[in-house]
Structure 1
């Protein structure tokens, strides 16, 4: 029996060895099963984490794409405004020269008619009448001037055309330089050229272009000061300021338009229900909140928006058309004006000046002090800001006739932004192209 038992045990061990299975206690298998459950749960959590992180990456990328889209829209609006300004200058020059040609044409037409009349009279004198009548007519015709036709030299202002073209070329060169890939080396000629901002990028009528949204954001944060037309004198006394103010109060609309600037609305300041359109030149009240991203300069309480560029020196003029002139307003403010709470409303603080339509009432507001103004049927308002001599004037504009609505005299201490308030549905403010 002993021998048989050993034989059976050996056979059993042989079979287990062939199957590759070692005898394992049940407790060890249960422990192994627990470990496997834990690993499977860990793998499940890892899979969920991968999908969640993938979703976060997708959402972050989409958010950044939307931000870039808005920034590029702003830059496109700047380019469009620059193109419109340059085109307007060329058209104005063409109109000036064409008008002179029209005058010359009318003078020549009159001169030709006079010469035709003299010719006919001479022909009549040679064929009709007696000797006495002929001599009398000849004496009269002898005194008539027969000078040859003179056409004065009239041509385009080539210096102006050249300046506009050069500014555009400089702008394009600067844009190419900003957009060039970092790894792309400059040519030897380009390295020698000084890297300067073109004149077009600092003129109030030629808006700046920058190569990235970061540059644009830095510019806004720094408070970009738009260059202004030079004034003949600098303010040095109260009497001089008063004289300059009196002079501007008496100016005609064409004279004010000489100081016109292109105002573009700043997307990053617009209240969530202020809709911007027409290349950021029209502000209206939307039915629903717009998908604006958070920004420290955005108004969160009042339905307002600021201009993109600020002015710290010089003289600047812009006009605004009111489509529905109730519950809206316009003016100027410091960049430091509050963006939250009731004190952020135009005219309700010491950092803003405005005129406002509230139903049928028109008021001027500054530092929370109201001044009731006479009513006007004009639907266009002109704003004249003189930073150098410290005043802002609001004009009611009807065709080429204007009258003063209100004026503020102030020693401005910060850069100033055009500012706008639209409250009721249907109220629309449109920046006019001068």
Structure 2
């Protein structure tokens, strides 16, 4: 029954002890006080926490904050409950010892038969009631310390001196007896009870530190979670902005795609309408021929000679002509210009993406976060100024794009020495020059097959030919005659030197043609404005501001513009390619062969329509325009 009583009391005591434990020191309340939120703490523990807190006064358990230092009152009811619990615990311990004795009694060290009633810590022995009488009756044993019987009495003795362990050495962290003190003279030794109280204070202080560290860790975890949420929100917002930018880019590209396709569709309708008209005319002609044929067959069946001859005479006067189909061709310049617009957009997108990938990550002001691709596409596609707030937005992108291109140009220029001109111009001009250079480099890397997609058909203009220039092979071949030819006067005809222009003119788009050099090399190939002079020395190709050319004077090659000559390295190529980019503002002269070699390039802003131009110096010079298939 005693054992069952012990077992039943232990859970009740343990549950009550948990409720009466301070959440700071995790021990039973000592002088408990109550804070305004209703929680209880040891007075000393709460004073220590508030003394180290830098954030005002708050409850250590629920974190409730108080505007000022609360007035603390002792919880007398809780004090009595703790005292009763401590008394009950001592009684339960004694009962537990009794229960333990019943299970395994401690024998008396005197008779070794009767169970011990007490253990003397001074004598270091356990005694039954009979042998305990001297400790109770004799004054000599009055100072001996008695306690309930102990099973582990030998563990309280010093293993070296067989004496009771009465002191604690802090330096060696071990319990020692009075004899061991001689070997610990230099150590700080104190009685066991005093050492226990000191250790309790140290552990309580450590517990407070751990509590503060736990709170600090909890605050750090809260900060990390907050920063994580902010980072996720920022990333989501940036994703939405990027999606909006790419949606704008896609809309611009789709708009330009529809415009270009509409050009092709309209040209197709125009040609198809012409074919439909010619087809209708040919159908009427066929019906007319069939009618005459039927009348002829009926006339052959006429037996009356007079009627037959009348019909025959009438039929013989009726004339018919062979079916004629006029040449109808699509406007190749329009088709190629539309196709080139798509190529330009592709090149801009590819260039922007490549530059973005290759560019090093650098710190930039917050205002320059806008990508330049949409603005570049907008300038290339529309060529018009938007309206309303959209116009302001796109103009802002335009300025940011120019600044970005300038930064990229400066970054790349640092990699290799560049000789700058005295006047570098505005950032917009510098950005435009960098963009033009990238476009030129991209064309120089293209193969001849890729350049042929820009091929145009060039024929020579009879009205511009000098009176000694002979045009042949359907106005695609030119040479010089020794005697003047009977050309009629025309305001566009050259009168000073043996020159001729192409019939086609180009104001927009990209165009490519090739010229074959035959026999000797006394000639010039270039481009010019239609407003170039036709008379006097200023009408010579390259000797004015309206023309650009390359000249061959035997083995010497020169580039001429605005009457300024620049000598070039010699090349043995007999076929010369000319690539004109009207929108990009440059013309390239290439030596056509297995690989394209650059002879020279001009970069400028063309302000008028451009014409192919040719100059033949001597009578033995022959130039032929190659017929290219795009």
Q: TM-score, normalised by structure 2?
A: 0.35
- The higher relative CO (CA closer than 8 Å, separation ≥ 6) is in 1
Higher-Rg structure is 2
